[in-house]
Structure 1
Amino acid sequence: MNADQARAGPVERDIELAITALKKGTNLLKYGRRGKPKFCPFRLSNDESVLVWYSGNEEKHLKLSHVSRIIPGQRTPIFQRYPRPEKEYQSFSLIYSDRSLDVICKDKDEAEVWFTGLKALISRYHRRPRVDPRSGLSSEANSPKVQTQRSSPLSSPFGSGDGSQKVVFCSFLIADHLIEF
């Protein structure tokens, strides 16, 4: 255990251990759109941004930033083609675009490691800014990055083009939808 893991709480430590295990990789039973399920070697890339597996001689990739959610169990249509109810607690699906990556782990412990690690990594890409209930503004509203985006000098396509005019962008967060004008 390194110094960072010793300082982290038990949840953070479990996540770090899970991510380390994912980088080492393992064989998972992959369900596909065609044919029967087959074992494929899966691993997490060293930069923790891509899930890599091999199907035949071909290397496949799934960027975790493209994954919208992870679902435990066998709930997708792909799993329904070859259901394995006895493996329900060893199964999960990664949902991305209009597709899913559906796998079964060798046992419940391995499934828990993969689910914990992937869920933590996927949540990095889907964090929402906190909204102050009193003002309704994002906690990031006063950051320099947002200030720069809101007020920037632009030349007018209709004017003299001297860059002296300013266009001000306003952003509102209403019911989880960002509206800019």
Structure 2
Amino acid sequence: MLRLGQFVEKCMSSMQTGTQMLKLRGGSKGLVRFYYLDEHKSCIRWRPSRKNERAKISIDSIREVCEGKQSEIFQRYSDGSFDPNCCFSVYYGEHMESLDLVSTNGDEARTWITGLKYLLAGISDEDSLAKRQRTRDQYPSSC
């Protein structure tokens, strides 16, 4: 059995390797994108994207990570559309925008949910916030 620390490290490593997921949007069909956690663990990035440098969400801006099909966007799809175990939403920014993702399997979704929640918990920990700020000062172009 993996200890929590080992499990979280496994999640981080998997997130940094990246995952292909379906990004749901309002009225149109979803977009398949490759999502990954940047090397400093400070942003989620995706490609391909026309936004290029702006195709990212900083971990600091994430407010909440929700499992399943709870977001407004997921509600627009019929019940059988996606396996709830593969679905999750990342709420971020001042206006609580949502990034609604569908992974290919439940384990993948759980990896991202666990990893993101761990990173969020780290932000509220003053010590780690100071550490991350120092890292950011060393690598100013990271995010």
The TM tier, using the shorter chain, reads 0.7 to 0.9
Among 85, 109, 112, the alignment partner of 1:89 is 85
Correspondence for 1:53: 46
**In structure 2, C-alpha distance between the alignment counterparts of 1:58 and 1:27, rounded to whole Å:** 18
Where does structure 2 lack aligned partners over 5 or more consecutive residues? 128-143
Contact 1:90 1:107 (8 Å CA) reproduced: yes
**In structure 2, C-alpha distance between the alignment counterparts of 1:126 and 1:70, rounded to whole Å:** 15
The aligned length equals 121
Where does structure 1 lack aligned partners over 5 or more consecutive residues? 1-8, 130-181
The sequence identity of aligned pairs, in percent, is 25
User: In 2 relative to 1, CA 84–54 (structure 1 residues): closer, same or farther, beyond 3 Å?
Assistant: farther
User: In 2 relative to 1, CA 77–23 (structure 1 residues): closer, same or farther, beyond 3 Å?
Assistant: same
Does residue 44 in structure 1 map to residue 37 in structure 2? yes
Correspondence for 1:67: 62
Larger radius of gyration: 1
* Greater relative CO (CA pairs within 8 A, separation 6+): 2
| 3-state SS in 1 of match to 2:65 | strand
Contact 1:45 1:52 (8 Å CA) reproduced: yes
Which is helix-richer, 1 or 2?
2
Which is strand-richer, 1 or 2?
1
Aligned-pair Cα RMSD in Å: 2.0
Q: Which residue identity lines up with residue 43 of structure 1 in the other structure?
A: Y
Give the Å deviation of 1:81.
1.9
